[in-house]
Structure 1
Amino acid sequence: MRLFGHPLHPMLVHFPIALWAAGSLADALTLGGIEGARSIAWLAIGGGGAVALVTMTAGLLDYAELDDELLPVAQRHMALMGLAWLLYAVAFVWRSHGLAPGTGSILGPALCGFAGFVALIAGAWQGGQLVYRFGAGVAR
């Protein structure tokens, strides 16, 4: 999927990565005693999940155009990013009270988010391999 001749997926990936990383950092700050970071984590993780849905849709459209030899790397990328989305979604719902951040313990949701961050980094590495090592989506 392209916008003005440029692939859309690489343009969008920075937003969920940045939001989820900010959410995990805010969780670490909350666990460190900075209570004001709790609502920032909730917003960042929820926003990252929402933007990731659009990003994943663009990625699926790009997947359909990949050469067959790149499919194993792309499938690892998709599996890891899907796992990251799932872990962050669980962390978001776990910490929510309706449509607002909850007031319960943050430890469980934060640990779930930290696991999501590990999956996010591993999945982003695989995505980087697709582009920078194999040239997926690069105009030749």
Structure 2
Amino acid sequence: MRHPLHPALVHFPIACWSLASAADLASLFLGQPAWWLAGVLMTIGLTLAIPAMIAGFTELMRLPEDNPAIRDVNRHMIMVMAAFSLYLASLLMRVEGMTLHAPGLLAMALSLAGFVCLGIAGWLGGKLVYGHRLGAD
């Protein structure tokens, strides 16, 4: 029985990005410790997302073009890439050299928009597994 690698890898960036967005919101009340943690979690999430996205893309290449799930697969991939791009943009707005700085409102808004895209991507991923039965024997 072959288990797809992608589902095993996605939990780490999802957790990091979700906690980063929560830390951004908490930074409104807690200040520097929370926004610093958000930046660190974004960095870890972005790094761990790369192997997860490679594994997902590799599994996509094995999917026949006429598979009825292909439309939802493409939507899932677009939402993941949007989340990645939004979190990356948010991180770049709060880094100067090798130092994290307090995020501005735009950087925080990008983080929250990334979280929304991540939620949509997760919902679509669930639809792929439980609705289309991708990866299930």
Tell me the TM-score range normalised by the shorter chain. over 0.9
Runs of 4+ in 1 over 4 A off after TM superposition: none
Q: Between 109-118 and 61-70, report the one with greater CA deviation.
A: 61-70
Determine the structure 1 residue equivalent to 2:27.
Answer: 30
Instruction: Give the CA deviation at 1:106.
Output: 3.1
Q: What secondary structure is seen at the aligned counterpart in 2 of 1:69? A: coil
Residues 71-102 of structure 1: CA deviation (Å, up to 9, x unaligned)? 10000000011000000000011111122212
The alignment-based identity, stated in percent, is 34
Q: What secondary structure is seen at the aligned counterpart in 1 of 2:69? A: helix
> Does 1:54 find its partner at 2:60?
no
Amino acid at match of 1:106: G
How do residues 1-140 of structure 1 correspond to structure 2 at under 5 angstroms? 5-67=2-64, 68-103=67-102, 105-139=103-137
Amino acid at match of 1:122: I
Counterpart contact for 1:131–1:137, Cα < 8 Å = yes
CA distance in 2: counterparts of 1:70 and 1:21, whole angstroms = 26
Counterpart contact for 1:66–1:136, Cα < 8 Å = no
Amino acid at match of 2:105: L
Number of residues of Structure 1 aligned to a counterpart in Structure 2: 135
Q: What secondary structure is seen at the aligned counterpart in 1 of 2:32? A: coil
Counterpart contact for 2:3–2:135, Cα < 8 Å = no
Normalising by the residue count of structure 1, what TM-score does the alignment of the two structures yield? 0.91
Normalising by the residue count of structure 2, what TM-score does the alignment of the two structures yield? 0.93
Which 5+ residue runs of structure 2 have no aligned equivalent?
Answer: none
CA distance in 1: counterparts of 2:71 and 2:34, whole angstroms = 39
Amino acid at match of 2:17: W
Residues 109-140 of structure 1: CA deviation (Å, up to 9, x unaligned)? 1111000000000011101100011110112x
Instruction: Give the CA deviation at 1:51.
Output: 0.6
**Considering only aligned residues, what root-mean-square deviation do their CA atoms show, in Å?**
1.4
Counterpart contact for 2:21–2:38, Cα < 8 Å = yes
